Structures are given as C-alpha cells and as structure tokens.
Structure 1
Amino acid sequence: MGDTSEDVGVAARFTVHAFTDVGLRRRRNEDAVLVGGWSCQTHDGSLVTMSFMPAPPFVCAVADGMGGHAGGDIASRVALNVISANHREWRSDEDVSDALLDVNDQVRGVGVETDLLGLGTTVAGLCFLADAVVAFNVGDSRIYTVVDGHAVQLSVDDSVFDTNGRPTNIVTQSLGQQTPVRPHLVRLPLRDARYLLCSDGVSGFMTDDELREAVGSDDVGDWCTRIIDTVRANGAEDNFTFVIVDVAPEQSS
C-alpha cells in the first residue's frame, strides 16, 4: 500500500455495495464501477458487498460511457482504470481535480488512437482522505449523501434541462472532450455517513419519491433491492449502476 505515515488521526471502516447491469433494452454495458482497486463492467448485474478498513486515499466511483457515442464501454473502462492506477497519490482537492484533467486527456487519446470519434464518459466518485471526503463529478452521474432517510444530491448535473427543470440525457461536459473539463468538487468532513453513487440509468428511472422510499430503511441491503426492483419495474431502458458506501470512522490511537 506504500507509505501512509502522513495519514494519521482518523481511520474508517467501509461497507460498500456495488452493482452494474446492462438493463432491459441495451445490448452492452457502457457503465462501469470502481471500488478501490476493484472494477466491474459485467453484462448481467450481481450485487457485490465488501467490508474493509483501507488506508487512505480510497476511491469509489461510477462511470457512464455516453449512450449513442462510439466506444462508450471503452471510455468508462479507461477512465476508471486510470483513476484506479493513480488515486493512491491523491492528497488534496487539487490532486483530484488535476487527475480528472489527465483522465480527460487519456480518454480522448484512446479515441484518437482507435478512431472512435466522440469517445466519452461521465464520472462520479468519492475520494476518502485521512480526515475528509472529496466528492467529484463530471457529467450527469450523481452522488447523494443520505441523511435521516433523505437523499441529498452533492454532485452537479452537467446536463441540458427541459422546460420543467429536469435534466435530459444531453450532457454539457464529459471526460474525453477536446476542451479541458471543469470538475465539480465538494469537500466534506470524514464522519459516519452513507453515500449513494449512481449513473443516470438509476436517477433517470426513479422519481424523487421512489428514491426517498428506497433509502428510507435502516437496512442498506434493502436499499439495493429496492433500487434494482424499481429501476427494472420502470423499464430499465439504460444500463444502470450504483455504489452505496457506508462509512464508520474510528479514532486511531
């Protein structure tokens, strides 16, 4: 894991539930999920649960290769592979932001090398540092913190909005674009918390009331079941992916 001598003061125990699925209409899964050094882009989703106490920095993320763009599955996979390879060097908000600029360049470079014009992906993730959490996103994949049964959105939707103020599936920036991206970052203290990361295959196929009902239970396993069942009941016309992170900090000696 390398030298963690500067990461002192607070340790945290994580329970993470991860799921990605092609959905009911798509032929391939352009979503991908990352938990630490583990990534997944399976076609038929199965729920994976992990519990551990990693040394910081520790990253969880979801990426959504943009539907209708060539090589969306490649773009999401490349983005998360680059993050996985480099996140151990992250120590600050600036490190996260600079890394996403580099990911943008690398995804674009793969598109040029493979003649896949329009290669692009969203990303939404959490970087857990020694005493803080940095939430980051580019595109319309989302990050929520769940407080008292209510899902509060931390991320910013890089979307074109309809006349009712709802985000459409048209994104205004993504990783892989020619111009530099402007990542959205939010810094939070490291504390007892529950977070939900998801692609728009989840957020776009659940109403606010359905999401509130899904995360209203004290049992996070029940959240997973409700999200999967609701998205499928509502058609699951897109790939859908989520990560639920349950954080329990412990004061280290």
Structure 2
Amino acid sequence: MGYIFDDRNDSHLLIVADGLGGQSCGREASHLAVQSIRLSFFGTHDSGLPAPQRLAGAMIEANHQILNRAGRDKRCRGMGSTCAILLMLGDQAFVAHTGDSRIYMVRDGRITRLTRDHSRVQRMLSDGLITEEEAATHPEKNWLDKALGLREDLKPEVRPDPIDLKDGDTFILCTDGLTNLVRDEELFSIIERTPIRQACELLVDMANDRGGTDNITVAIARVGDEVTLAF
C-alpha cells in the first residue's frame, strides 16, 4: 500500500507499507499504518519538534494502533506492517523506516539505498555470513527483526540528518515485492531513462512478469517534477 500526502506548507509525505499476517489482516495493518502516520504527523506539524522526532513519534503511534487492533481480534494476532517514509519539506528530505520496504535515491548518475532492511538475512549479510547471491534466495529472507505491530518497544530507524535536495534528485520507495525480483541496477536503469510515471508502471510490470505474487508498491518523487505513485 502506498500514499502521497500534501499539505499547504510546501511538503510531501510519501509512505509505502506492506502488511503482514494474512491477506485481510495484513491489508488492514498497512492501512492502519498509513492513516495513523498521516494523522499523527500532520497533527504535530506545528508542535515545534524537529521533523525526525515527529516521524519517529508517528511511527510509534502507528505501532500502538496496530497492536491495539490485533489485541481486539484474535484472528488478527500477529498482524503487522513494514513502513518506509520520505518527507520532502522545503529544500530538505527526511527518511524513516521499519521492516524491509526500501528507499533509494538517484543523484548524479548513481543509485544509493537510504535504508537498511530490518531482517535476519540482512544481519547475516552484514556480518559476512552469506553473500549477496545467497541472500537473494535465502529461505529466511522474509523473516523480519522489526516492523510495526511486532512488539511494544518499537524503535523506528530515522535518518538523523536531512538530505539537502538538488534539482533532479529522484527518490524511490518500494516494497520487497519489487526488490525481490528487480535488481538495484535494473531499477537505476529504468529511473535514469524513463519519465517517473512510466517508470512506476514499468517496474511493477517487470516484477509481475517475473512471477510477482507479493504486494508490489512503488512510489517515485523527483525534485522539480511531479510526485507520482503506482501500485
């Protein structure tokens, strides 16, 4: 699930969420995550808190909302959601996430991943226990260490420093339904040569053509251009 929200203060809030815990409960969890974050963030817009603290607080509130919902219905116990957030505020961008939904930035002919997956396989990869090739097909690649709704004491990962935006900067938010099937270099190639609205469609189609059955959500924002979403 993905959403883009605008307010009247020259800002965009992009959110991508991927629900866990079965089709219906997972969908509800991702919907709860997106709506709770939107309400929490814009509800504290004039609080005077720095943007990273507002984003962290919004994610913590979403975590509580999902846990409370799961506690009221035993069928939804274990429901949760990944979440990746990009806040474009004036000439700066802020990044926050939990789980394995990702945010990339394309700038000056290079692609950079701005988030690190909160997963068992990512830990093994970081510790040098497996290779990139082994990680791509590892049977535990979907086992998450952290996501909304998994535990009370969630500590969302928020990039502490803002990104100073440059004309042409492009940001891609996506679920693992895309990154499990489309390599980073393929993502970069499409972003570099394709208008962003068409790029969203091409990326989703590419994942589907390769047998994608998971939630495939892509949101792309380009500085000085439109903000677009496809899922």
TM-score with structure 1 setting the length? 0.73
| Residues 1:179 and 2:152 aligned together | yes
Amino acid at match of 1:113: R
Match of 2:131 among 164, 167, 186: 164
Kindly report which structure 2 residues correspond to 1:122-161, keeping only aligned pairs within 5 A, or say none.
122-161=82-121
Query: SS of the residue aligned with 1:36?
Result: strand
Query: SS of the residue aligned with 1:215?
Result: helix
| Residues 1:119 and 2:79 aligned together | yes
1:212-246, Cα deviation, whole Å (9 max, x unpaired): 32222152234223312211221112120010011
Match of 2:201 among 213, 219, 225: 225
Tell me how far apart the structure 2 counterparts of residues 100 and 227 of structure 1 sit (CA, whole Å). Answer: 27
1:148-174, Cα deviation, whole Å (9 max, x unpaired): 443211012001116224361111111
Tell me how far apart the structure 2 counterparts of residues 119 and 240 of structure 1 sit (CA, whole Å). Answer: 19
Q: Which residue of structure 2 lines up, in the alignment, with residue 61 of structure 1?
A: 15
Tell me how far apart the structure 2 counterparts of residues 56 and 227 of structure 1 sit (CA, whole Å). Answer: 28
| Structure 1 residue runs without a partner (length 5+) | 1-31, 38-52
Kindly report which structure 2 residues correspond to 1:173-252, keeping only aligned pairs within 5 A, or say none.
173-186=146-159, 187-192=162-167, 193-217=169-193, 219-248=195-224
Tell me how far apart the structure 1 counterparts of residues 172 and 8 of structure 2 sit (CA, whole Å). Answer: 19
Residue 132 of structure 1 deviates from its aligned partner by 2.2
Tell me how far apart the structure 2 counterparts of residues 225 and 106 of structure 1 sit (CA, whole Å). Answer: 32
Amino acid at match of 2:5: G
Amino acid at match of 1:129: L
- In 1, are the aligned partners of 2:11 and 2:89 still within 8 Å (CA)? yes
Residue 209 of structure 1 deviates from its aligned partner by 3.1
Worse overlay, 153-162 or 74-83? 153-162
- In 2, are the aligned partners of 1:64 and 1:199 still within 8 Å (CA)? yes
Alignment CA distance shift 1:177-1:156 (3 Å): same
Q: Which residue of structure 1 lines up, in the alignment, with residue 69 of structure 2?
A: 110
Tell me how far apart the structure 2 counterparts of residues 111 and 76 of structure 1 sit (CA, whole Å). Answer: 13
Amino acid at match of 2:142: N
Equivalences, count: 203
- In 2, are the aligned partners of 1:214 and 1:222 still within 8 Å (CA)? no
Normalized per residue, which structure has more strand?
1
| Structure 2 residue runs without a partner (length 5+) | 125-129, 226-231
Percent sequence identity is: 27
TM-score with structure 2 setting the length? 0.79
| Residues 1:76 and 2:30 aligned together | yes
Normalized per residue, which structure has more helix?
2
RMSD: 2.3
